[in-house]
Amino acid sequence: MKHLICNLKANKSYSEMLTYKEALKKINYKSLNFIFAPTSLYLSLFKDSNINLCIQDIALNEDLNLTGDISLNQIKNLDVKYAIIGHYERRKYYKETEYQILSKIKHALNNDIKVIYCLGETLEEASRKVEYQVLEKQIARIFNNLSNEEIKNIIIAYEPAYLIGTDTPYDILKIRSMILFIKRIIKDYYAINIDVVFGGNINIENINDLLKLNILDGFIICSSILNPENIPKIIAKMTT
């Protein structure tokens, strides 16, 4: 089953989210694994909606219950099933290291929350043609410290940093090559067939070319799903 991960980031006011919730009620998303990641503030609005809820990040120092953090126990009580960890924006603006990301991943998995692990190269890394080494490092530093059972509860989100929030044209063959590389690395070193989704300014138009890549297991999308009317259109394209 394909995954559609809708990451709203820090968008929508309370009243806008109530309207968004009503729009979601009209969408038939049972043909795929629909994962919805609103701002943490609004997770409780969707607790009983039969949607696979996802938190956009988790606390690093889980055991300390620090001011401003959200504990995993609180998250689980809201029926959250997934956590996005390692997103490029967290790496860039909050200087998250792979050590910190690994700690978050372990905390999530130990609390029965599945992980959407984001990885991808920057434009500078791509221009130096070291993107394959970058991805291999991002995989190894995390997966070498996890058991096979833990890895089975991870979805990889491949998001080249230079495509996030930009109109940079896709190089479909390059994306295909990178996805295959990720899958092969994990298959060869950990003997697991992992699901890999793609993200990076996906919209109603360019998703058609991406869907031709039958190696993709779905998408992680932000901008295009800020208008909930686009969601059934994307689902229709993904399931036909």
Q: Tell me the per-residue pLDDT of 38-97, one tens digit each, with 9 for 90 and over.
A: 999 999 999 988 899 999 999 988 778 889 888 888 888 999 999 999 999 999 999 999
- Count of alpha carbons within 13 angstroms of residue 207, beta-carbon side: 24
Domain count, the chain: 1
Q: Going by C-beta distance under 8 Å and a sequence separation of 6 or more, which residues neighbour residue 187?
A: 193, 194
Tell me which DSSP letter residue 46 carries: G
Mean pLDDT of the chain: 93
The pLDDT of residue 233 is 96
CATH of the domain at 224: 3.20.20.70
Report the candidate in 36, 10, 9, 14 with the shortest Cα–Cα distance to residue 25.
Answer: 36
* Residues of the domain holding 29: 3-238
Tell me which DSSP letter residue 23 carries: H
User: Per residue in 145-187, pLDDT tens?
Assistant: 999 999 999 999 999 988 877 777 788 999 999 999 999 999 9
Do 114 and 76 contact (CB within 8 A), yes or no? no
Confidence of residue 120 (pLDDT cuts 50, 70, 90): very high
Do 4 and 218 contact (CB within 8 A), yes or no? yes
Total residues found in the chain within this entry: 240
Tell me which DSSP letter residue 227 carries: S
pTM exceeds 0.85: yes
Do 157 and 116 contact (CB within 8 A), yes or no? yes
Concatenated DSSP letters for 97-153? -HHHHHHHHHHHHHTT-EEEEEE---HHHHHTT-HHHHHHHHHHHHHTTS-HHHHTT
Segment 225-230 shows an average pLDDT of 96
Question: Token match 């809708």: residue?
Answer: 6
CA dihedral 106, 200, 233, 181 (to 10 degrees): -70
